[in-house]
Amino acid sequence: MAGTLTLRVITPTRIVLDEPVESVRIPVLDGSLGVLPRHAPMVAALGAGLLHYKSNGVEKVLFVSEGFADVRDNVMRVVTEACEPSTDIDEKRARAAEARARERLAQRGKGMTGEQAIDALRAEAALRRALMRLKVFEYGSRERVRT
Ligand code: ATP
């Protein structure tokens, strides 16, 4: 057993988590990145997705939005726009956000202006957040059924 590292998850409004954990997997722009205790110092850009961590032998999942992570002195800091455990996710709201984003993307046409292209990128990011929230929500529902 390699011990623990401290996982600190921070949003603009609160500290979501600050505790020793056995392992962490964060969503990055091109996949995911696993971190174990005594990891070398690093920084990474966070993509919206699922943050998995193991605490006292139990696997847990959080939704995290865009942001960054760093590791130093056996502390991993995850600084993100928004973060929710499955129990805090409002499924209806996420489904509505998904529908809105899909509607905006469906209106995308050829020969977009710069502004329209930026709107489309925003809609893609909003769609990703909504889908990832729904994934975490479903993950939590499965866990609740099992326990
Ligand atoms: P929406 O369009 O529904 O606001 P969004 O993806 O634009 O979704 P964010 O900018 O990621 O929302 O988050 C804004 C705030 O709302 C954050 O505090 C976040 O925790 C909260 N939030 C967003 N969607 C949900 C949700 N489905 N359930 C619970 N909290 C949410």
Instruction: Tell whether 95 and 40 lie within a shared domain.
Output: no
Task: Let me know: does 47 contact 66? Beta carbons within 8 Å.
Answer: yes
Nearest CA to ligand 1 atom 1: 97
Give residue-wise pLDDT tens across range 80-114.
999 999 999 999 999 999 999 999 999 887 778 88
Q: Is the shortest distance between the CB of 89 and ligand 1 below 6 Å?
A: yes
Cβ within 8 Å of residue 32, ≥6 positions away: 25, 26, 49
Which range of residues forms the domain containing residue 52? 5-85
- Is residue 50 pLDDT above 60, yes or no? yes
Burial class (CB in 10 A: 0-12, 13-18, 19+), 34: exposed
CA–CA distance from 35 to each of 6, 62, 74, 124 (Å)?
11, 16, 10, 28
pLDDT value at 53 more than 90: yes
Query: Do residue 138 and residue 96 come from a single domain?
Result: yes
What pLDDT does 83 receive?
A: 98
Tell me what pLDDT residue 1 has. 47
Of 66, 85, 104, which residue is a domain's last? 85
CATH number, position 50: 2.60.15.10
Residues 29 and 62 in one domain: yes
Residue 126 beta carbon below 6 angstroms from any ligand 1 atom: yes
Helices assigned H by DSSP within the chain: 91-106, 114-146
Boundary residue ending a domain (61, 85, 109): 85
CA–CA gap between residue 71 and residue 35 (Å, rounded): 9
Domain end (from 85, 101, 130): 85
Q: Is the CB of 128 under 6 A from ligand 1?
A: no
Number of structural domains, the chain?
Answer: 2
Percent of the chain scoring above 90 in pLDDT:
83
**Short-list 30, 32, 130, 126, CA closest to 78:** 32
72 lines ligand 1 (CB under 6 A): no
Residue nearest atom 11 of ligand 1, based on CA coordinates: 82
